[in-house]
Amino acid sequence: MAQNSSCRKRPNILITGTPGTGKTTTAAALAEVTELCHINVGDFANEENLTNGWDDTFDSYYINEDLVCDALENLMEEGGNIIDHHACDFFPECCFDRVVVLQTDSSVLYDRFTKRLFDCPRGYSDHKLASNTECQIFQVLLEEVKENYPDDIVIILRSDSLEDITKNVETLTSWISNWSPVV
Ligand code: ADP
Ligand code: MN
């Protein structure tokens, strides 16, 4: 448990999942309760100009992964960060003490997409709607997580309802308060 965390006083958590599963909502709520620092990677990359052109799949700028990792290195070393991002493969394994994969029932997710409630500035086209709700991305993302992180730090949480968010924030808050660095 909590490998490579000896330098950190507080844990780093990755919250990942398909767009619309509630990463930003969950991360923001968790940050408020725990006083950990919420870093929305897309926003951070945009603010710091660490982008490389447009990613049509996610309707956002391609993130320059190396530059983002470099820019976050010191903060990650210190610990106490909630990283909110739809991909997980560019952060080194040792960065995280917990990797949370949010999953939402496809019909629920479809409703969120059609209402365009999530933080995508242009909304999704029908084509993207279909491909994103096909569940494909769930599996791809989960495989990516499993390839990159040890099983014992990965947790899959349902995010269908507001009750789920409350429950997930409680689960993670209690995990954070019980976390201690490996000495
Ligand atoms: P993400 O950051 O994963 O793209 P957001 O946190 O931006 O997702 O949430 C997308 C939209 O769906 C928001 O309007 C949010 O209020 C809503 N939402 C997210 N998770 C849930 C949930 N578990 N139950 C109900 N609504 C949710
Ligand atoms: Mn988001």
For 127-137, write each residue's pLDDT tens digit: 555 555 555 55
Please tell me the pTM assigned to this model.
0.89
Ligand 1 pocket, residue 112 CB under 6 Å: yes
C-alpha 22 to ligand 2 mean position (Å): 7
Ligand with an atom nearest the CA of residue 161: 1
Is 17 near ligand 1, meaning CB less than 6 Å away? yes
**Ligand 1 atom closest to Cα of 40?**
2
User: Was 171 annotated as part of a binding site?
Assistant: no
DSSP secondary structure, 77-129, as one string: HHB-EEEE-S--TTS-GGG-SEEEEEE--HHHHHHHHHHT-SS-TT---HHHH
**ipTM confidence:** 0.99
Over the chain, what is the mean pLDDT?
Answer: 85
- Measured between alpha carbons, how far is 49 from 181 in angstroms, rounded to an integer? 33
pLDDT at 183: 65
Map tokens 């997580």 to a residue: 145
Residues constituting the chain: 183
User: Which of the listed residues 101, 118, 168 should we mutate to test ligand 1's pocket, taking the one with most ligand atoms within 8 A of CB?
Assistant: 118
- From CA 98, how far away is CA 82, in angstroms rounded? 10
pLDDT tens digits for 5-40? 567 999 999 999 988 899 999 999 999 999 999 999
Ligand 1: atom nearest CA of 19 is 4
